[in-house]
Structure 1
Amino acid sequence: MKQNIYDNPIFHQSYINLREKGKGLNDVLEIPAFRSLLPDLHDKKVLDLGCGFGESCKWYVVNGAKCVVGVDISDKMITKAKQEFSDNRIEYVNQSIEDIELKPNNFDLVLSSLAFHYVVNFAKLVKRIYACVRPGGTLIFSQEHPVATAKKVSDGWVKDQNGKKVHWILDDYADEGIREQRWFIDGVIKYHRTLSTIMNTLIQTGFQIESVLEPTATVESEEKNESLKEERRRPPFLIVKAQKP
């Protein structure tokens, strides 16, 4: 099931508002940790799967990438990317990351930020990525952490009568599959996989795992926003770097 939730007008505008404020978990947790794993981008051919509105694509070419192909299922996101983050070194493709045709041994670096938890068949996607990466090339991806996706209720926090977060629900962890949640709107579809499934899929496909991050905010960010300290109570994101031999 390929859900194009980012073209829903309410969801789209809510997401853009969050990102433009620069205070969401993407900006203070995921992006800094993700970029810390990047190799030297100079002269690299990059594939960005689930590129969103193209901000990262532009960042990659500004920081040395030879060219970038950004792929996203959302027409609204690709339109915004072309309007705000265009560059003659960037090609934006409005297509599902599961369906786009990928030439073998074509990219030095495949990147994906917070998109893989929307993918039904993770193993199939990993095999296609492995085929399109050149020998010695790298895959780096982030996704919602399995601890965060495991629950089958929309809000994972148990709160007291005053609304204070008491603890996080970790339940149904081994029951992989679809999760329907509320994020800006009802009915957002994600897919839960255990940490072992994610890692073993990469290994069995042929990737060598180089680094795994479960990022927390910097002390500086936490001082500016006290609520970020609560993100240390359960990992919101998983980031993996793997290499094709």
Structure 2
Amino acid sequence: MSLLSVRNLVKRFGGLAATDGFDFDLLPGETHAIIGPNGAGKSTLITQLAGELKPDSGKILLNGQDITHERAEQRALRGIARSYQITSVLSSFTALENVMLAVQAHQGHSFKFWTPASRQASLTEPASLALERVGLGSRMHVLASDMAHGEQRQLELAMVLAGQPKLLLLDEPMAGMSQAESEQMTELLLRLKGQYGIVLVEHDMDAVFRLADRITVLVYGRGIACGLPEQIRTNPEVRMAYLGDDA
């Protein structure tokens, strides 16, 4: 059974079909990339999968259960976690404090009034573990504002992982990164492969072809091709529509 299934999903903004009868499947442990030109509808699709935007029609299934009408917070409790194109860390907090807030939000309770949050093992331990997993273990007490852009993206991923998700929706995790930072993030995501179902929207084609088990190409809200990376790389329709004749 697919971890995530999308059937005939439609989202219109006036006369524009941002998602136009889109079908999609993500297998357990699979990294499935969605690529396409600017304006293809990729971020709109991710926003619908996260529950932040309601589709006009169609279905979204998680482990066979219809979640189409569930809100984002309900989907988060089911194990769906999303990252954003723009880094959303709190700059005046340390890395550890940022991840502790993510842990606390997932646990769904407030901090204990008489106990400093920094001494609550139920928050610090999973937060520290998440930072170790993304390579920021030695940077946990550094203010987010003092971190490089690539480190802030790693921190955001730690915040996502702290919620113990089953499904990651990664919306351009390499956005704004230098080549060295992109390569470092790619290596990090390679280490996470197989542990989660991952829907990856990304413009860095080198990263996409290294990370993806399968790739779906989105053009004007419709999937024009889906297959293994090499199938997509050599698909004439994809080369014409997106990758370019000399891809």
* Structure possessing the higher relative contact order (Cα contacts under 8 Å, 6 or more residues apart): 2
Higher strand residue share? 1
The answer, yes or no, to whether TM exceeds 0.5 is no
TM-score (norm. length: structure 2):
0.33
Structure number with larger C-alpha Rg? 2
